[in-house]
Structure 1
Amino acid sequence: MTTARLDPDIVARLVGDAVTAPSMHNAQPWKFVFRRADDVMEVHGDAERAMTRADPHHRALHLGCAAALFNLRVSAARHGLRARVHLLPDDSQPWLLATAAIGGVPGEDQELAALHTALRRRHTSRFPFSDEPVPDALLDGLRSAARWEGCRLTVAGDWHLDTLLGLVRDAEHREDIDPLVRAETAAWVSPAHATSGERRDGMPAEVFGPRSSAGSSAVRDFGRDRSMADRGWAVFEERPQLALLGTPTDTRADWLRAGQALERVLLQATADGLATSMTSQPLEWPELRWTARDPLDAMGHVQMVLRLGYGPQGPGTPRRPVADVLEIRD
């Protein structure tokens, strides 16, 4: 039997970094099991935190868990370790999404370690961005970050941007008239501030951002159905800078690669001084998701739409305690 090299404190730190990842409605749909016998971390999806209406095939759940997996890789590198990942290791356990054998010398993973400082600075910003364009050099770096994880990132041109903004409006209308979707979203939204309640997941009031004074924007409005006198109004950018992250095919393994690419792009953007948010509304409707892709681009399937720019980082969302999501087995 292999002698375990990691003590529980290090394991808890790795998971504490992992769970800073974004997830749909901040549901945090992950569980971690650390096997001390062989220093392997298992990453499981949590079926009880799945969105059965907006994410019936669990694509978004896979993205969130994979983003947490990428953070685990970053944290391991920061601690002088390497996480060797195996996606979907056991067909008989569909909720076991990945394993990561942790140990050894990080070597080429030093580039991952450099992203560690961005882990806790990365927050989704639902505030207006300036009209200052993101320099091509930074966009090239984000494209490279996606390629590192086997994915593709493209920036929407003028006509494609108009299409995407139209899809956002269409998705919002569909949500407005679907009581099941609205109820599901409402279950993860809290009108209270995170500091005033005990809830450690979901969307507290301080992350809603201001209302758009010009109608629909590329930012999901989690407070649309709630009256909040102190929330305020603001003018959002008329032509947001949107980038699409995609994969050639659309398998579960693709979703897990895309989730890791998503987090790598987000962390690199944060390190570069950019603010980010995700515009996933059109991707939650199958009939709209296909339309989101650029037919002139080689990207086969859009996995996420990102909003990039310069503006406030936005407040952090609450996180479940490590003890609630981590099990250590001998």
Structure 2
Amino acid sequence: MSVLVGKNTKLMVQGITGSEGSFHTRQIIEYGTNVVAGVTPGKGGTLFDEKVPIFNTCKEAVEKAGANTSVIFVPPAFALDAILEAADSGVDVIVTITEGIPTKDMITAKNYLEDLNKAGRNVRMIGPNCPGIITPGFCKIGIMPGFIHLPGRVGLISRSGTLTYEAVAQLTALGLGQSTCIGIGGDPIIGTNFIDAMRLFNEDKDTDAVIMIGEIGGNAEETCAEYVKKYMTKPVIGFIAGRTAPPGRRMGHAGAIIAGGKGTAEDKIKAMREAGIYVAESPAEMGTMVKLALDESKAKKAKTKTTAKKTSKKSKPKAAAKKKSNAVSKKKKPVKKNKVSGGAKSKAKKQVKKKKK
């Protein structure tokens, strides 16, 4: 019941000895995540909280501790180097929590990861400027409060951290657990976008519905709506933040920029509705909208099953009648008499005449 991270995740923490890194690492360990290593240059050979071994490099952490996932808690100026080092070490997933990474650095990092994947690697980055990723009950990587989550079958993708927590709290209150929650980040350049995450949930047999939380700026939600319309086989619920944001005022994430009149909340909501996505009008409706979508999806499936049963019942009598008619026709067929040829008849007559003589 997980996407990207789960019970097999072995986590290394880059920046484990910093104030942010140490605080959140303790919370991550407390949740039950398997933290196998920390990475801080110059502090290799020591232990974090007398439990977690610290290495000087990511490569050492992978080779000696078996790490397959990394989370980055380093200052923005050093984030690019941390991402590239993690990618080169051989991990599969890199979760970048850091906010304020220069756009140029993120372009470099994204291009580097794409080149690695073209060469045969399969490495994925989540973030930056994100709350992280969690598979409830198994693995938490990031800064989200673990206690509000409940294991279940609803996937969540969000550009906003706080709205993620709000949606999760509503779902949990309704008894709707989550398969995996992914905070993709609010920056213009991110490692995993809406379509990437939506595709993962669409292919996950343990996810029944997906909620996507977007916001003004860019066209990520519109392009994802097109994907949903063409390929999604599960109900999708959407919410767009920033409908009441005053024009011309600077606020929110770095990616929340409306340029040339495009990327407005109205554009995104329209695209979602045209794609058949259930749209919540306010944050308070996110949970109930997911429940509605799931109920309608179950009703449709039940109706399809009933129709299929009726069709099969109708076809069965026809097949039985056909078998019966075949049996009757077989009974009525007359027994064929052996026909005697003309030559044989004349020979028999001649033999009778000879006997009489």
Q: TM-score, normalised by structure 2?
A: 0.23
The structure with higher relative contact order (CA 8 Å, sep 6+) is 1
Structure showing greater radius of gyration is 2
Of Structure 1 and Structure 2, the greater helix share is in 2
Q: TM-score, normalised by structure 1?
A: 0.24
